[in-house]
Amino acid sequence: MKERKKSRGVLEMFKKSGFVFVSLCFVISISYAGSKGTTGGQFLKIVGGARPAAMGNAYCAVSDDVNSIGSNPSGLAFLPKSEVTATYTVWFQDIKYNYLALGMPMKMGTLGIAVNMLSVTGIPKTDNTGSYVGGATAETATKFGESDTAITLAYAKALNDKLGLGLSMKIINMSIDDKSASSFAADLGGLYKASEKLDLGLSVQNLGGAIKFIEVSDPLPMNLKIGSKYQFSEKFLLGLDINVGTADGVSTVNLGTEYSLAVNENMSLPLRFGYNSGLSDAGGMAGVSLGLGFAMKNSFGFDATWAPYGDLGDTIRVGLKYSF
């Protein structure tokens, strides 16, 4: 009898902790809300892994791989095995984007690290009148580059078999030509397994200071992400994320689905479709994403994603994943 009462007390404590966490996330997000076009560090919005990109970044409640670091750090709390992933992106306009992540479950919780790197070179230099520097045309002008990097350290803990909480800290560095700026940010997340098929997630992303170049300072693109995942069967899942209260006033919806075709008991071919409403203003099929993969049970995986950006061009992501 005493043990039963004790268990009820612990459960009530978890419920209260979850309510406080949700309330805190909401208040923080609303407090920092600004207007569209007022944030810096826009590269922080880019989806890192090929799998979440194929699912339209509807990943807040997905907790079965290391890519959850980028959408909701609490997903790491339920990572079944240590996992490492690397993704290379062929972007438009000669932009390069790379992503690395590692997650390691331990007795004290799950530790994770991720690195996001974006760079572009060969940009023609102009002066304050718009004239080219070092040459008369864009081809002959002096060139410069830009690079953005975020290193994320994450920690997640499952409080019980249903509730997990996570925190990640980001070190951000951006450089343009010979100028650079640095900042710090944090992500807070919670994930609740409401039933055998339904998972619910909540995350505040890029909570932190501003990024300052010379005398100009801009807030980071903070975002409140509310997500759900419904596992129709072992092969088929559907994800839905809603992004609200962002610092730049942008609210979006992410929708993604994955269906795994079984080749045999140890091999599957996942097919993915996604939609990100935040990209729809680029025209054409922008916002839509398609992906496919190859997965060996509990070991090796390969993912590829195609995502068009309208008139800007198409992007291709390829990623490798290894569980150990």
Spatial distance between the Cα atoms of 161 and 60, rounded to a whole number of angstroms: 18
**114 occurs within a structural domain:** yes
Spatial distance between the Cα atoms of 38 and 31, rounded to a whole number of angstroms: 15
**320 occurs within a structural domain:** no
Q: Which two tokens stand for residue 80?
A: 């079944």
Mind listing the pLDDT tens digit for each residue in 213-256?
Answer: 777 777 888 889 999 999 999 899 999 999 986 656 678 899 99
pLDDT at position 27? 43
In the chain, how many domains are there?
1
Host domain of residue 211: 10-250
Mind listing the pLDDT tens digit for each residue in 78-127?
Answer: 999 999 999 999 887 778 899 999 999 999 999 999 999 998 887 788 87
More confident residue, 312 or 319: 319
**30 occurs within a structural domain:** yes
More confident residue, 9 or 144: 144
Mind listing the pLDDT tens digit for each residue in 156-174?
Answer: 999 999 999 999 999 999 8
**321 occurs within a structural domain:** no
Q: Do 155 and 164 touch, CB atoms closer than 8 A?
A: no
Q: Give, in order, the Cα–Cα distances in Å from 287 to each of 203, 248, 293, 302.
A: 22, 19, 20, 23
CA-only gyration radius of the chain, Å: 21
Residue bearing tokens 């207007």: 35
Segment (H or E) for 6 = helix 2-31
Torsions phi, psi of 33, nearest 5? Answer: -60, 135
**308 occurs within a structural domain:** no
**257 occurs within a structural domain:** no
